[in-house]
C-alpha cells in the first residue's frame, strides 16, 4: 500500500511535533537518534524531508537550558547596570559634598587671613584698648581714681 507524498510529509511533521528534545539550535546533523530510525522519517521523500525539518526547527523556541542561561545573563547584566548607575549617583553626591566642603574651607581660610591683616590704626586701637583695660583693673584694685576721673570728696574747683 503506497501512501501519498503529502501524507508522508504530514506524518513527518507529526513525528517532529511529538519529539520534545528538539530546539531551534538543532540541525539536520544533530537530529536525535529516535527520529532518524523512525519509519515516518525514513519514508518521507528525500527532497522534501530536509525542508520540512528545517521549516519546523525555525518555528521552535530556543533550547530551554539556553533560554534559562540567557535570562540569567540578562538579569545579571541588568543588576550590574543598576549597580553602576547607583555608584555613579553616589560618586556625584560625594563630589558635590567635597566641593561644598572645599568651598567652606576656602571661606574660613579667607576669614582667618582677613582677621590676620590688621592695619596700623587697628593695631593701635587694640593696644590702646588693652592699656585702658589694664589701667582700669589696676585702679579698681588699689582704690585709686582713674587719671581722668575727679577724686571723691574733692570739689571740682580745687
Q: What is the pLDDT along the chain (158 residues), one digit of tens a residue?
A: 477 888 888 888 888 888 877 878 788 888 888 888 888 888 887 878 888 888 888 888 776 777 788 899 999 999 999 999 999 999 999 999 999 999 999 999 998 888 877 666 666 776 777 777 766 666 555 555 555 555 555 454 44
Q: Which residues contact 27 (CB under 8 A, 6 or more apart)?
A: 57
Residue at a domain's end among 61, 85, 105: 61
DSSP string of 49-109, one letter each residue: HHHHHHHHHHHSPPPHHHHHHHHHHHHHHHHHHHHHHHHHHHHHHHHHHHHHHHHHHHHHH
Asked if residue 8 lies in contact with residue 47, where contact means CB atoms within 8 angstroms, the answer is no
Structurally, how many domains does the chain consist of?
2
pLDDT attached to residue 120: 67
Q: Are 45 and 5 in contact (CB under 8 A)?
A: yes
pLDDT at position 156 is 47
Give the pLDDT score at 1: 47
Domain that holds residue 81: 63-135
Closest CA to 15 of 29, 28, 34: 34
127 and 109 belong to one structural domain: yes
* pLDDT attached to residue 47: 78
In a domain? residue 156 = no
Q: Are residues 88 and 41 in the same domain?
A: no
Domain co-membership, 68 together with 127: yes
What residue has cell string 587694640? 126
What's 28's DSSP letter?
Answer: G
**Residue 148, pLDDT score:** 58
CB-based contact 42:5 (threshold 8 Å) = no
- Look up residue 30 and give its DSSP letter: G
Closest to 153 (Cα-Cα) out of 140, 136, 145: 145
Amino acid at each position: 500500500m503506497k501512501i501519498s507524498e503529502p501524507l508522508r510529509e504530514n506524518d513527518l511533521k507529526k513525528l517532529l511535533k511529538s519529539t520534545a528534545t528538539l530546539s531551534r539550535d538543532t540541525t539536520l546533523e544533530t537530529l536525535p537518534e529516535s527520529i532518524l530510525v523512525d519509519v515516518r522519517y525514513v519514508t518521507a521523500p528525500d527532497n522534501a524531508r530536509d525542508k520540512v525539518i528545517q521549516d519546523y526547527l525555525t518555528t521552535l523556541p530556543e533550547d530551554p537550558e539556553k533560554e534559562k542561561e540567557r535570562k540569567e545573563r540578562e538579569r545579571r547584566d541588568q543588576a550590574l547596570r543598576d549597580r553602576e548607575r547607583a555608584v555613579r549617583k553616589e560618586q556625584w553626591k560625594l563630589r558635590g559634598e567635597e566641593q561644598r566642603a572645599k568651598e567652606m574651607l576656602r571661606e574660613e581660610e579667607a576669614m582667618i587671613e582677613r582677621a590676620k591683616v590688621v592695619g596700623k590704626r587697628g593695631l593701635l586701637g587694640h593696644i590702646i584698648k588693652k592699656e585702658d583695660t589694664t589701667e582700669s583693673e589696676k585702679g579698681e584694685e588699689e582704690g585709686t581714681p582713674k587719671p581722668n576721673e575727679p577724686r571723691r570728696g574733692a570739689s571740682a574747683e580745687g
